[in-house]
């Protein structure tokens, strides 16, 4: 029944790792026709499913066994919950007769994961299984997307029953508001018309709603400046003249000052997290705040909202475009923020001898002509990728935003490449995070997945080291990694070609060679250990109090 349900849901691929309690499911999957990717760790499986979900918009499917198999998924489930990614997760469980007896490989996965899933089930009757699976896919992919877990006791997985998948999903307590209130949309339009210094803030909710074209139409209509959150990058073309760049802790000066100075902030699909807002006392303090979000719990949670709009970002934008959006003159405001952007671009000190990580990201962008999916791990390299790779299309940017999960990058790149085999995928990873999940290199070889791994090797936990330098009097407690493995030999041991780049010329040559080489490639890029990410909003500071804006 499980296989039939997965077929009914048109599941394209499963990521997973077998074990004792889930063996009945794996036996059913044997030669079922649905491709299965055997990762080398359950954490790899769930991050791969996240990468797949991020670039396709479809639920990623994960299977793991009971006990440690299930608990190894916990980080990825939390990551997906924080970043609103649709996953359907099947975990094995000990037989119903021994649940609660501390049986071998038993863990209360329902109890462990309840706060980090959108919903969770433990199937007690095999005849419930089709309805549970159908509900799980529905819940995971509607409203605000998120992970849904189905715990399968072994005796239930071994049982058989009648497969009936025809009944529609009816969940009285779960009715997401998709279409916004028309009166609220009219209020938004009126506020826009009255604004002198409007600013649009677009988050990942625009991407989840596949509403980038509508967002572009809105900006074309009102000619207001726009900024993105970290996860919203790509929802609007990064090279558009009205785009101010990413806002937040490591965003652009222009974007952050525009938030500080605007008299109207229209937030579409972002959740006002603390890395975006900085000190809330100074965030958009002069502005009428409008918040459009599919999740009503997010509205007013962190930032007081003047005009709340609950609904799908795409529906809201379509309705808004049908209103009168004749704006007053805002040219002085636009000129002002564009001048701030021109005068305060991202900067770094070029170095002829050493490879600067910012230049490395630029080289990746140049070599692929901007036409690639970029997946990162977490840390300095993540911020440099966000700053220096101008994303022009939606769903080309995959990163761990909310949870900030080191080890995310490589397996997420595997899932992204499986989801989009027609687009080159770069996994830009740091040496710290890479060593958390580097065993997944085997998956690249096993399934001939042509991910190009760009290892930003600064022999340290770079962001930790940066914070220790700036805020802990340079006491580098356990953040430096002077002894590293030979990443080239390591990669070659997995059967993956690998190269080293230590300066700009070598980086250009090696990234080009990586693109020309079929299959996976790793480029070990040696960058200075003491390079910092600037500009930066210090902890506790307002968004307008950035440091490192100028060299």
Active-site residue among 42, 50, 315, 362? Answer: 42
Segments in 344-379 forming alpha helices (H) = 357-367
Indicate the helix (H) or strand (E) that contains 315: helix 313-321
Active-site residue among 463, 510, 536, 546? Answer: 463
d(CA 167, CA 350): 63
54 close to 414: Cβ distance less than 8 angstroms: no
| DSSP reduced 3-state for 410 | helix
Q: What are phi and psi of 499, to 5 degrees?
A: -135, 165
Q: Is 180 exposed, middle or buried (0-12, 13-18, 19+ CB in 10 A)?
A: buried
Active-site residue among 4, 12, 105, 469? Answer: 105
Distances (CA, A) of 251 to 349, 362, 364, 392, 397: 18, 17, 20, 17, 16
Q: Of 268, 322, 265, 275, give the one whose Cα is nearest residue 294.
A: 268
- What is the pairing mode between strands 198-202 and 226-228? parallel
Active site residue 105: yes
Distances (CA, A) of 414 to 68, 151, 315, 352: 23, 25, 32, 34
SS (H, E, C) 428-488: EEEHHHHHHHHHHHHHHHHCCCCCEEEEEECCECHHHHHHHHHHCCCCCCCCECCCCCCHH
15 close to 355: Cβ distance less than 8 angstroms: no
Active site residue 42: yes
Active site residue 104: yes
Indicate the helix (H) or strand (E) that contains 135: helix 129-141
Would you give the end-to-end CA distance of the chain in angstroms? 62
378 close to 405: Cβ distance less than 8 angstroms: yes
Active-site residue among 118, 154, 356, 452? Answer: 154
Q: What is the CA radius of gyration of the chain?
A: 24
d(CA 536, CA 404): 17
d(CA 86, CA 98): 31
Q: How many CA atoms lie within 13 A of 143 on its CB side?
A: 18
529 close to 465: Cβ distance less than 8 angstroms: yes
Residues labelled catalytic: 42, 104-105, 154, 463
């Amino acid at each position: 029944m499980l296989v039939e349900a997965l077929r009914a849901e048109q599941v394209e691929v499963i990521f997973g790792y077998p074990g004792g309690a889930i063996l009945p499911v794996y036996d059913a999957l044997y030669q079922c026709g649905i491709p299965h990717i055997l990762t080398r760790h359950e954490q790899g499986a769930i991050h791969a499913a996240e990468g797949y979900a991020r670039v396709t918009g479809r639920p990623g499917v994960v299977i793991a066994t009971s006990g440690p198999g299930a608990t190894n998924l916990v980080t990825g489930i939390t990551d997906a919950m924080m970043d609103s990614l649709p996953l359907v997760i099947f975990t094995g469980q000990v037989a119903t007769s021994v649940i609660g007896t501390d049986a071998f490989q038993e863990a209360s996965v329902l109890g462990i994961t309840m706060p980090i899933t959108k919903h969770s089930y433990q199937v007690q009757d095999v005849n419930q299984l089709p309805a549970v699976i159908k509900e799980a896919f529905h819940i995971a992919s509607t409203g605000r997307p998120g992970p849904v877990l189905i715990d399968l006791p072994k005796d239930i997985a071994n049982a058989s029953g009648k497969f009936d998948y025809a009944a529609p999903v009816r969940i009285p307590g779960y009715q997401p508001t998709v279409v916004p209130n028309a009166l609220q949309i009219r209020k938004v339009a009126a506020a826009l018309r009255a604004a002198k210094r409007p600013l649009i803030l677009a988050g990942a909710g625009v991407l989840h709603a596949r509403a980038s074209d509508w967002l572009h139409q809105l900006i074309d209509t009102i000619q207001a400046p726009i900024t993105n959150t970290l996860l919203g990058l790509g929802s609007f073309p990064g090279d558009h003249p009205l785009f101010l760049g990413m806002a937040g802790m490591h965003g652009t000066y222009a974007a952050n000052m525009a938030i500080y100075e605007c008299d109207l902030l229209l937030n579409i699909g972002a959740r006002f997290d603390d890395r975006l807002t900085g000190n809330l006392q100074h965030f958009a303090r002069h502005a009428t705040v409008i918040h459009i979000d599919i999740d009503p719990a997010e509205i007013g949670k962190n930032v007081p909202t003047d005009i709340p709009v609950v609904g799908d970002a795409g529906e809201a934008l379509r309705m808004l475009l049908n209103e009168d959006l004749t704006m007053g003159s805002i040219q002085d405001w636009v000129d002002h923020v564009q001048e701030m952007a021109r005068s305060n671009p991202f900067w770094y000190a070029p170095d002829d001898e050493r490879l600067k990580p910012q230049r490395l990201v630029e080289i990746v962008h140049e070599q692929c002509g901007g036409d690639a999916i970029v997946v990162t791990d977490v840390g300095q390299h993540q911020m440099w990728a966000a700053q220096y790779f101008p994303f022009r299309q939606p769903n080309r940017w995959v990163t761990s935003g909310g949870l900030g999960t080191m080890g995310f990058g490589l397996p997420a790149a595997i899932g992204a490449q499986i989801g989009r085999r027609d687009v080159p995928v770069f996994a830009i990873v740091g040496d710290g995070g890479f060593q958390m999940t580097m065993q997944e290199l085997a998956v690249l070889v096993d399934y001939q997945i042509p991910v190009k791994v760009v290892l930003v090797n600064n022999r340290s936990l770079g962001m930790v080291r940066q914070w220790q330098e700036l805020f802990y009097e340079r006491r580098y407690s356990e953040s430096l990694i002077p002894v590293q493995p030979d990443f080239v030999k390591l990669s070659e041991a997995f059967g993956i070609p690998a190269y080293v780049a230590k300066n700009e010329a070598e980086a250009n040559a090696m990234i080009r060679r990586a693109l020309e080489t079929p299959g996976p490639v790793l480029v070990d890029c040696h960058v200075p250990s003491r390079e910092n990410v600037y500009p930066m909003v210090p902890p506790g500071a307002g968004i307008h109090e950035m440091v490192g804006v100028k060299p």
